[in-house]
Structure 1
Amino acid sequence: MSEARSEELALLFREARTHNAWIDRPVDDALLARVYELARMGPTSANAHPMRLVFVKSADAKAKLLPAVLPLNFDKVRTAPVTAIVAYDSAFYEFMPQLFPARPEMRDVMAGYPAEGRAKLAEQSAFLGAGYVILAARALGLDVGPLGGFDPAGVDAAFFPDGKWRSVLLLNLGYGDSSQLHPRNPRLSFDQACRVA
């Protein structure tokens, strides 16, 4: 393995950490746009890309978000320069003609799925997209602190009152305070977590 490849893997995986404490340094909107430009390139089912993001930065937006955050995560979100609300668009299929032009019938096919199955597909792809956002942010020099400890209904009421988008995850983004990191916790081995069938 080349030295450059080893450094890339360290940046994205081996040395990357989940951050919960942040340096008081703003994140430029142009950098957030670059994160999305990279993250959107990852694959999703039928290229549907139902993930939607709201980058919460302003004091007013934080004030709307914080009541829906569980107490354990309150300060993590309050102090993060940016908190991305990862959501899915329940009407994602409307974009299928743009996203899958070779198969114009895909809009009607996906619109015809049972609502529960369509929501599951959208939610799964949104979680997959969140992983791409994490890797893109790390690749561009940001630290990330994903968390699920929040009330999705509260976030949806505050940010998506029309009910079209539905939140699934929060991602704190910024420049982490490495002095506040604990030692890395262990991971399961291949033999513990994997089977080859």
Structure 2
Amino acid sequence: MEITVSTALLALLSAYVLVLAVELPDKTMIATLVLTTRFRAWPVLVGVSLAFAVQSTIAVLFGRALTLLPESLVAAVVAALFGLGAVLLLREGFSTTDESGEDAARQGVKPVTFLHSAATSFGVLFAAEWGDASQLATAGLSARYGHPLMVGAGSLLALITVAAIAVFIGHKVRGRLKPKLLQRIAGFAFAAFALLALVQAFA
């Protein structure tokens, strides 16, 4: 029982730390920041949080399905998930394009309804999270630890944390962090997880 609880807490913490590291420099944070420049903070936070909840549930369900497969096959699939995540992160980390959204930031806050702001924020972030590194990480960790609820909770908490940072102090945080460097670090971490899973698959 103690081992099970420890594993569950480890799954929660691992999901939170990994997803937080992945999403801080990701387009998710930038998109939330841009939305906050157009709409009020509270409906944006509600909308993106709901989008994250739905996407985390989808990722957890996919990860849970992986646990029904043979262990070596699961390890291979997990390796592929983390490998794909590493490719996506490293490609963004070493790209020379700038997606800061500064033009949108100059437009200011628009006086629109709570429902409209929340629905728009939900739609943008729901679309942005499909196939995102954090969704791949959530699916992979869910399969690895066998605690889908804890992994999903950790992932969701990390995503909401990132959204809150973007909404309330996004401009200051974005000015002090080096997004490309963080993306590279997260990409190499994903590559290490993929390599470990590959070793387990062929062990």
Same fold by TM-score greater than 0.5: no
Q: Which structure is higher in RCO with an 8 Å CA cutoff and minimum separation 6? A: 2
More strand by share: 1
Taking structure 2 as the reference length, the TM-score comes to: 0.26
More helix by share: 2
